[in-house]
Amino acid sequence: MRRAFALATLAAVAFGGAAAAETWTKFVDAGNGTEWSYDADYTYKDRQSGRLVVMQAISKPASKLGPSGPGKPDGVGYVYALDCKAKNLISLAQYTPSKPLKIAADWRKASPKKAAGPENEALLAAVCPHAERAPVK
């Protein structure tokens, strides 16, 4: 039992930068069987910027693609920092099976862009009503 606990602890430490659990919530159908989802377990409010940080992934169920997080063989997605009031976002990172998730430490200095387009607008509509309940990190 102690070994199992130790292995679980080591795994949690080793993968601490990625989402430990994944609770994907579809927020828009993008056509051609493509869907976008966000990971509720990864979503949090950034203490320094006040922005809502969200991981989203693309999926295409007919092709057995995602949604999945970084490091998964079918994981393709992005991480954004959203300002729900100003309706803008900062792109923090993108990931694919061949490109691990890597978020720059200085992302807060980046200029936000308007959250335009159907997928970005749908993401804001899906996550912003829950922003006040998001954990602060």
Domain map (residue ranges) of the chain: 19-133
CA 34/CA 23 separation, integer angstroms: 18
Structure token pair of residue 112:
């936000």
Counting residues of the chain whose pLDDT is more than 70, the rounded percentage is: 85
Q: What share of the chain is helix, strand, coil (3-state, %, to 5)?
A: 25, 35, 40
Query: Is the pLDDT assigned to residue 6 strictly greater than 80?
Result: no
CA 129/CA 97 separation, integer angstroms: 31
Contact 96, 73 (CB under 8 A): no
Residue 89 confidence class, pLDDT cut points 50, 70, 90: very high
Structure token pair of residue 8:
């679980």
Instruction: Give the model confidence (pLDDT) of 40-84 as tens digits.
Output: 999 999 999 999 999 999 999 999 899 999 999 999 999 999 999
What average pLDDT does the chain have? Answer: 87
Number of H helices, E strands in the chain: 2, 7
